[in-house]
Chains A and B, each alone.
Chain A
Amino acid sequence: EDKVVQSPLSLVVHEGDTVTLNCSYEVTNFRSLLWYKQEKKAPTFLFMLTSSGIEKKSGRLSSILDKKELSSILNITATQTGDSAIYLCACASGNTGKLIFGQGTTLQVKP
């Protein structure tokens, strides 16, 4: 059965800290890995990763995929209170648009 596991499940840091969120997967016919940020309701898209070892960056956020280790990390540097959210990792597989999500990491950034 396809599985996506995120760690840690929750994390509390202070503004200015750097955090690393982890995502590991066991997915048949893996195609891509996506990261989303969910603050209230709608998950908002952050990154899509398809190639191993190529870092994607957007401002203070960056992510990289390791297909050998079947994992990905999401880094957030110089955290701000606005980074407080649930971060979701998902994998696309097979020949449909089905995304398989992990359970999410809840990040709380304290002032």
Chain B
Amino acid sequence: DAGVTQSPTHLIKTRGQHVTLRCSPISGHKSVSWYQQVLGQGPQFIFQYYEKEERGRGNFPDRFSARQFPNYSSELNVNALLLGDSALYLCASSWAMGGEGTDTQYFGPGTRLTVL
């Protein structure tokens, strides 16, 4: 079975540009979460989507937005890129929203975003 897939693998953008990152969850999983990981730190939660609705949002500015499609894949959009947005963006999928033993999230390989 395919794991979580993300595209693109790497991306280089300049300040002020916009970027869209894509994620396909494991088959049968209905929840997708997005995390930002800067070098030397653990991942930071950005969003969770479950059944196409936003279920959680981390402490990120409104320049960050996301959505989930009927096939449960997801997009993360970042507008007006700043140098500080350079990071590894990880997508994780789980079969439910969380709780009652469903907390395990499976991560994709990530998208490495560099903002110049």
Contact = CB atoms under 8 A, between A and B. Distances in A.
Nearest to B100: A31
Interface stretch (B11-19, B63-71, B75-83, B90-98): B90-98
Chain A CB count within 10 A is highest, among B92, B104, B110, for: B104
Contacts, number: 84
Nearest to B33: A97
B42 A97 contact: no
A54 interface: no
B98 A100 contact: no
Size category, A interface: 20 to 34
A97 B106 contact: no
B72 interface: no
Interface in A13-53: 31-32, 34, 36, 41-45, 48, 50
Interface of A: 4, 31-32, 34, 36, 41-45, 48, 50, 88, 90, 92, 95-104
